[in-house]
Structure 1
Amino acid sequence: MHLEYIKPNPWSIIEEGWNPEHVKSSESLMSLGNGAMGQRANFEEEYSGATFQGSYIGGVYYPDKTKVGWWKNGYPEYFAKVLNAPSWIGIKVKVNGERLDLHTCVSVSDFRRELNMLYGTLDRSFKATLKNGVEVSVKAQRFLSLALNEVGAIKYSIKPLNQDATIIFEPYLDSGVTNEDSNWDDQFWNTLSVTDDEDAAFITAHTMKTNFHVTTMMRNRLFIDGREITLSRKHKTKTSYQGAIGHKEETTTYIGHEYETDVKQGETFTIHKFGGYVSDLNHAKENLQTASTIVLNTAITQGYDAMLQAQKDAWAQVWAMADITIDGDVKAQQGIRFNIFQLNQTYTGVDSRLNIGPKGFTGEKYGGSTYWDTEAYCIPFYMATKDQEVARNLLTYRYNQLDKAIENAGKLGFKNGAALYPMVTMNGEECHNEWEITFEEIHRNGSMVFAIHNYERYTGDYSYIVEMGMEVIVGVARFWRQRATFSKAKNKYVILGVTGPNEYENNVNNNWFTNYIAKWCLEYAFAKAEELRDNHKDDWKRITGKTKLSFDEILSWKSTAEQMYFPYSEEYDVFLQQDGFLDKELVTVDKLDKSQRPINQKWSWDRILRSPYIKQADTLQGFYFFEDNFTTEELEKHFDFYEPFTVHESSLSPCVHAIQAAKLDRMEQAYKFYLRTSRLDLDDYNKEVEEGLHITSMAGTWMSVVEGFGGMRVRNNKLSFEPKIPDAWHSYSFKVNFRGQVVKVEVAKNKSTFSLDSGDDLEILVNGEKCTITVAR
């Protein structure tokens, strides 16, 4: 049964009514982020019930030693863990000596929590009766500033309802944190110093092994009924044991400032808490506390209300370009905005050292900050909704890690500058821990090159290929040339022992998608080599000199591509997902007992691997990437064959099927897939939302509307649209930034409208016909 407590609302994620069973799910769904840091929607006050505490800093990680039963040559030495960072949001609350804790209160009523996506704020309110009989009303609001991305702000208010009360606020910092996800229960953080300066406090800590230095900070202001007051404070500290195993020492890891005052019945006692992180990613280690003081002073000087207004203004700018409106279907509207909101919280594009982790700032599962999801799903979203430099930054991220990709390939025995990009990484090194993924899910390598092609096709920017991209293309082509094996029996090149996008098939031969993207990469590399040789002679000389690339090697790429083998069924007239697929018992998903779903939680791996069930679009992923290479009739035939076996237990799957169903004019089916991808987390389809959100697949949700229903493509350097609309919708609209011009698309039942905000006239294709958009005068 799916989650049903989230209220349909076009701009907010709303929970009403107190239910402890929803706490961890809501902590995920209402997570906050600003591209530089993020946090789950944990309560500010103490909570002794089941909770998943999580605060995260972009780019900061720990190399958790790999935990496997037996070692394999070339195996990654560590799994890069997204670290639960020192907490700055905590505010302990006592009323007449009784601790405020929703888990232990006598009663809780009027509980409401709202993630306001328009403004990027998290609001919570409730009434509670404590064990000592005092009734209180609590309101809390917080946000992570887009304008000052090292700072967040909290406004926390409490009002005694049935009597006067002595109330204590104890805002605190705590570096004595642990990860939910840890292989060996290592200590990830080591606290270096705990200091305070009047109403401010600081904890400086560093990560073990990676030695990232971070100062966690806070500063507070107090109010009674809106009037600022000054209270004396008590200094609170706690200790925990930290240090290397065998050398642990008792260390101060907590600092709190206790403020006590008498509050009359009906009066409101409020604290404004400003906090956040300053790290050595952006400041010198020795200057962290100074930098913290400066940024806190900036926040305090602005004040909570001015910071909140700046937050609203910043999000208004984001939504002005990225919003998709849907009229007539609130759940669909809520779903797409939730996806767009979380993508913008995770990655803003201002720092090319960062990327889009699969859980973003919402949880620790999967680890790493980068998967092939970025290149396959996310780049189109960022290209179209932001300046093209943002997408270029994502490509630059991979170029900067090319040496590591060559090193990764070398560990597996590849030579001559062959590059294998990692399945999971923080710094370019492979750190995924499952052999069937790490060694075998090599199709990811092709997505690096496809993203370069996709970027050039959309933006028209060839300079990336000249300056950086060709070196990546060469490294990947070398990998595919060496990874392919010539089969005398087939008189073709085969690719053996792989895992395709469908991870419910491991160690198979000739996965069609893997073979196809390898062939395409080799052909693309050959074509780009010819272009550079003919048109960019100086750059070509530089690149061939650096990579030691010869003409004979380039010819070998073309020869291998031309002789690539693809499994095919004459009986069904379709390409087969891999060799031997038809040996399976071909029972379709609709024949599965619903009690057996999801199969990844109900079945053994042995049973899954022998089944025909497809975790995510695999062969159809290739038909999505390389749509222009196949006819609509071929797509239809393959869609009809593979969709009935697809269980969509990967978050990356429904969006591809939504786009293809729309292309095939199967709008009811496309709409169902759209709802599934857009509300995957909101409705908890995979029954795992409490572990965090599926951030990267959210870009696929955007594609479901823009590429699926809007039919947007780039054909012959022109934007092309084939608009369609689900029956449930009255209309929808979106904007895309195409080569510096913002095109607005509005689709209704009986007409589609295209407009420009500014710039020159633009020729586009609509249902194959040329038309010119002009700027309204």
Structure 2
Amino acid sequence: MNQDYIKADPWSIIEEGFDKERVKSSESLFSIGNGAMGQRANFEETYTGETFQGSYIAGVYYPDKTRVGWWKNGYPEYFAKVLNAPNWIGIDISIDGEPLDLNTCREVKDFARQLNMKEGWYQRSFVATMPNGIEVSVVSTRFLSLHLDELGAIKYEVQVLNREAEITAFAYLDSGIKNMDSNWDDQFWNTTRVHSEGNRAFIESHTLKTNFATCTFMEATLYRDGNAYETEPVHKKDELAVGMSFVVEAKKGEKIALQKYGGYTVSRNHNSSELRNAANSTLDKASEIGFDGLFEQQKKDWASIWEMSDIEIEGDIKAQQGIRFNIFQLNQTYLGKDSRLNIGPKGFTGEKYGGSTYWDTEAYCLPFYMATKNQEVAWSLLEYRYNHLEKAIENAEKLGFKDGAALYPMVTMNGEECHNEWEITFEEIHRNGAIAFAIYNYHRYTNDYSYVPKMGLEVLIGIARFWQQRFNYSEDKQSYVMLGVTGPNEYENNINNNWYTNYLAKWCIEYTSEQLGKVEKEYPEDYARIISKTQLTVAETNAWDKLASNIYFPFSEKYDVYLQQDGFLDKEMIRVKDLAKSERPINQKWSWDRILRSPYIKQADVLQGFYFFEDHFSQGQLEKHFDFYEPFTVHESSLSPCVHSIQAAKLGRMEQAYTFYLRTSRLDLDDYNKEVEEGLHITSMAGTWMSIVEGFGGMRVKDNQLSFEPQIPEQWQSYAFKVNFRGQIITIKVEKGTSSFSVTGDTDLDVLVNGKTVTLTPGKVVQA
């Protein structure tokens, strides 16, 4: 059974009632971030129960040495870890000497959390009876500023309800933290200075090996019934922590509030010797604006984000909450301000998957950011891969490839492969194709070709060279085959001729050849530079073309479908619906050996190819392949339901499309995969957006025009969204039986609606 404690609300994530069993799940669900840093929704005060403490700084990582039972040549030396950073949120509360700890309180009532997605803040409140009989009310409000993205702010309000009492509030910083997923229990941080002055404190530290220097900082002020409490705090520090205590004799019902600013300055953005000065500067700005001013600015900044990215759904509050949660978390994770950063599968909500970048970015996230931001943000994501091209060539060389062949990593922080499961690291090579597809997709959507001659063609050449070397010629089949791979379905390892990988490779080679011709003709200076740099020859491109025209694709005449791989029909073909519920999810109930021999598909594989290359196949072919593969798909990847939702909608199967949509949009809120306490599925959230815009809205780019084929789930009254298409904002509202379109800007825009051209004029709403 899925969890169901999150209350349905269109703009907030709400939990009511305290349950120790769901603390870690809620720490994930109520996470906050601002693109530069983020944190799980840990309690500020002491909590001795089960918890997963987590604060993270974008781009700061540690190369945790690979731990495997048997070393294989070509293994990455390390697994990049998103680092649990020094903790700045700590506010320990003692009342008459008794620590406030919800794990030990006699009673906790009126407990509630709210993550306000519209305005970008998190609040927790409760009334607790402590072991000494004192009844205390707490309201804590926290946000990470978009305006000052090195800063977070907390207002922690305490009232003693049943008598006078002495309240001690200890605000602190702590660098004595560890990652939960360390391979060797290494120390990741070295603390070099702990310092406090006035109502400010600082911890200066750096990561070992990668040497990211960081200053964790805070400023704390106590308020008594709204007025600053003029008393000098008592400073405390040791080698790894520093803080200050405020003591106040509180009357019954008197409101005592500790206001705390905190955050990080990092050597990625400042000179290492200036980190404390930069921290003081940020605190000065925060103090000048004030908590209330920062809070109001936060609301304005989030209003600006929602103005473009919101999807409004009428008639289905759970669906509405789900899509906004997904859009909110994507924007908390990545805002496109820094091309050195990317979108991690867990964002700032947990440590699983370690590295910052998977193929998820190109396959799922790029469409969201292209349509809800602008092409500069999408360009930054593409530039990230170009900047890592030399590392991709090195990654390929480690596996025996040569002459500029490039294999982009499965997991990376700096372009170097740091994934250490052999069946993924060596074999899940389709990731290369997603990067090439993103280049094509960017040009198709934005009509900006400049990336290709400037950067993209070099990337494409490296990828094409890899594919050319990865195939070998089969005398038996009289075709080129690709052996020993893992497709998107990670429940099959070391298989031969994965259809998706073979098809993607063929397309990559042909697309690269096309771009070479186009750049040679239209950008001769760039072409000369690229040919000189890559030493590409006509003989080499001729070899590509020969290979691409004779690639083997497994096919079943019996079922009239492409086979996922050579041996797929050798399996015992029991459909998912015939599996006992007690056997699910199979990744938690079955041995890996049993999974590998089963027909069960973790996520879209052949159907991923039909999603990318929809216009290469007929509607009848899509239907036949969907009906063959979907019944064997267990959807135990967060990336699975969205692709199936889009394709079900394409086939007009709206009830099925809606079911898949609800699963992808509420994957974490309802904890379908029983793992939300480890963190959220950030990259798949972009797939949720795609489920509505590309699935229900039917948005595509066809013949260089934006095209829509709108449908609406039976459960909804209407839905509406906006897309930024080539600098013009199009608003689409879909109701039962009708759709309306409008455009901003100075010029008309022709779009296709159900195959017919509709001219949109700024200032007018067109029904179609």
TM-score of the two chains, using structure 2 as the length reference: 0.99
Shift of residue 224, structure 1, vs aligned partner:
1.0
Counterpart position of 1:428: 415
Counterpart position of 1:159: 159
Counterpart position of 2:437: 450
Q: Output the CA distance in 2 between the equivalents of 1:35 and 1:560.
A: 43
State yes or no: 1:715 paired with 2:702: yes
Q: Output the CA distance in 2 between the equivalents of 1:226 and 1:42.
A: 26
1:219-260 per-residue CA deviation (whole Å, 9 max, x = no partner) reads 01221111122222111123xxxxxxxxxxxxx000010000
Shift of residue 452, structure 1, vs aligned partner:
0.2
Counterpart position of 1:567: 554
Q: Which amino acid aligns with 2:261?
A: F
Percentage identity across paired residues of the two chains: 66
Segments of 5+ residues of structure 2 without an aligned counterpart are none
Shift of residue 533, structure 1, vs aligned partner:
1.2
Counterpart position of 2:60: 60
Counterpart position of 1:125: 125
Q: Output the CA distance in 1 between the equivalents of 2:65 and 2:383.
A: 28
Counterpart position of 2:736: 749
1:689-704 aligned at under 5 Å gives the runs 689-704=676-691
Counterpart position of 1:724: 711
1:622 to 609, 614, 620: 609
Q: Output the CA distance in 2 between the equivalents of 1:235 and 1:712.
A: 59
1:18-33 aligned at under 5 Å gives the runs 18-33=18-33
1:563-712 aligned at under 5 Å gives the runs 563-712=550-699
Q: Which amino acid aligns with 2:521?
A: D
Q: Output the CA distance in 2 between the equivalents of 1:352 and 1:165.
A: 52
CA contact (8 A) 2:61 2:83 kept: yes
State yes or no: 1:185 paired with 2:205: no
Shift of residue 266, structure 1, vs aligned partner:
1.0
Shift of residue 436, structure 1, vs aligned partner:
0.1
Q: Output the CA distance in 2 between the equivalents of 1:556 and 1:326.
A: 52
1:328-357 per-residue CA deviation (whole Å, 9 max, x = no partner) reads 000000000000000000001000000000
Q: Which amino acid aligns with 1:768?
A: G
1:37-436 aligned at under 5 Å gives the runs 37-238=37-238, 252-436=239-423
Q: Output the CA distance in 2 between the equivalents of 1:118 and 1:290.
A: 33
Q: Which amino acid aligns with 2:571?
A: K
Q: Output the CA distance in 2 between the equivalents of 1:131 and 1:580.
A: 64
Shift of residue 758, structure 1, vs aligned partner:
2.4
Q: Which amino acid aligns with 2:520?
A: R
1:294-336 per-residue CA deviation (whole Å, 9 max, x = no partner) reads 0011111111000000100000000000000000000000000
Q: Which amino acid aligns with 1:513?
A: Y
CA contact (8 A) 1:165 1:262 kept: yes
Q: Which amino acid aligns with 1:111?
A: F
1:694-749 per-residue CA deviation (whole Å, 9 max, x = no partner) reads 00000000000000000000011110000000000000000000000000000000
For the residue of structure 1 that corresponds to 2:609, the secondary structure is helix
1:399-418 per-residue CA deviation (whole Å, 9 max, x = no partner) reads 00000000000000101100
State yes or no: 1:553 paired with 2:540: yes
Q: Which amino acid aligns with 1:496?
A: L
Q: Output the CA distance in 1 between the equivalents of 2:230 and 2:511.
A: 68
For the residue of structure 1 that corresponds to 2:21, the secondary structure is helix
Q: Which amino acid aligns with 2:561?
A: V
Counterpart position of 1:3: 3
Which stretch shows the higher mean deviation, 555-564 or 194-203? 555-564
Shift of residue 44, structure 1, vs aligned partner:
0.5
1:480-499 aligned at under 5 Å gives the runs 480-499=467-486
1:350-375 per-residue CA deviation (whole Å, 9 max, x = no partner) reads 00000000000000001000000000
Q: Output the CA distance in 2 between the equivalents of 1:560 and 1:725.
A: 44
1:616-656 per-residue CA deviation (whole Å, 9 max, x = no partner) reads 00000000000010001000000000000000000000000
Q: Output the CA distance in 1 between the equivalents of 2:467 and 2:382.
A: 20
Q: Which amino acid aligns with 2:217?
A: M
Shift of residue 556, structure 1, vs aligned partner:
1.6
1:17-39 per-residue CA deviation (whole Å, 9 max, x = no partner) reads 11111100000000000000000
Q: Output the CA distance in 2 between the equivalents of 1:475 and 1:749.
A: 48
Q: Output the CA distance in 1 between the equivalents of 2:691 and 2:624.
A: 21
1:567-614 per-residue CA deviation (whole Å, 9 max, x = no partner) reads 000000000000010000000000000011100000000000000000
For the residue of structure 2 that corresponds to 1:6, the secondary structure is coil
CA contact (8 A) 2:196 2:243 kept: no
Counterpart position of 1:249: none
1:650-700 per-residue CA deviation (whole Å, 9 max, x = no partner) reads 000000000000000000000000000000000000000000000000000
Shift of residue 203, structure 1, vs aligned partner:
0.1
Counterpart position of 2:513: 526
CA contact (8 A) 1:624 1:656 kept: yes
For the residue of structure 1 that corresponds to 2:276, the secondary structure is helix
Shift of residue 536, structure 1, vs aligned partner:
1.3
CA contact (8 A) 1:526 1:555 kept: no
Q: Output the CA distance in 1 between the equivalents of 2:546 and 2:283.
A: 61
Which stretch shows the higher mean deviation, 752-761 or 106-115? 752-761
Q: Output the CA distance in 2 between the equivalents of 1:267 and 1:385.
A: 46
1:63-119 per-residue CA deviation (whole Å, 9 max, x = no partner) reads 000001111111100000111000000000011111000001111000000110001
Shift of residue 759, structure 1, vs aligned partner:
2.5
1:481-505 per-residue CA deviation (whole Å, 9 max, x = no partner) reads 0001111111111000000000000
For the residue of structure 2 that corresponds to 1:465, the secondary structure is helix
Q: Which amino acid aligns with 1:554?
A: T
For the residue of structure 1 that corresponds to 2:244, the secondary structure is strand
CA RMSD between the two structures: 0.6
TM-score of the two chains, using structure 1 as the length reference: 0.98
Shift of residue 757, structure 1, vs aligned partner:
2.5
Q: Output the CA distance in 2 between the equivalents of 1:165 and 1:303.
A: 29
Q: Output the CA distance in 2 between the equivalents of 1:180 and 1:4.
A: 27
Counterpart position of 1:243: none
Q: Output the CA distance in 1 between the equivalents of 2:417 and 2:606.
A: 25
For the residue of structure 2 that corresponds to 1:7, the secondary structure is coil
For the residue of structure 1 that corresponds to 2:240, the secondary structure is strand
Counterpart position of 1:248: none
CA contact (8 A) 2:699 2:709 kept: yes
Segments of 5+ residues of structure 1 without an aligned counterpart are 239-251
Q: Which amino acid aligns with 1:230?
A: E
Q: Output the CA distance in 2 between the equivalents of 1:537 and 1:400.
A: 23
1:507 to 489, 494, 503: 494
Q: Output the CA distance in 2 between the equivalents of 1:338 and 1:230.
A: 41
1:250-273 per-residue CA deviation (whole Å, 9 max, x = no partner) reads xx0000100001110011000110
Q: Which amino acid aligns with 1:428?
A: G
Q: Output the CA distance in 2 between the equivalents of 1:555 and 1:284.
A: 50
Q: Output the CA distance in 1 between the equivalents of 2:124 and 2:40.
A: 14
Q: Which amino acid aligns with 1:220?
A: A
Counterpart position of 1:772: 759
Q: Output the CA distance in 2 between the equivalents of 1:637 and 1:484.
A: 28
Q: Output the CA distance in 2 between the equivalents of 1:619 and 1:198.
A: 62
Shift of residue 133, structure 1, vs aligned partner:
0.8
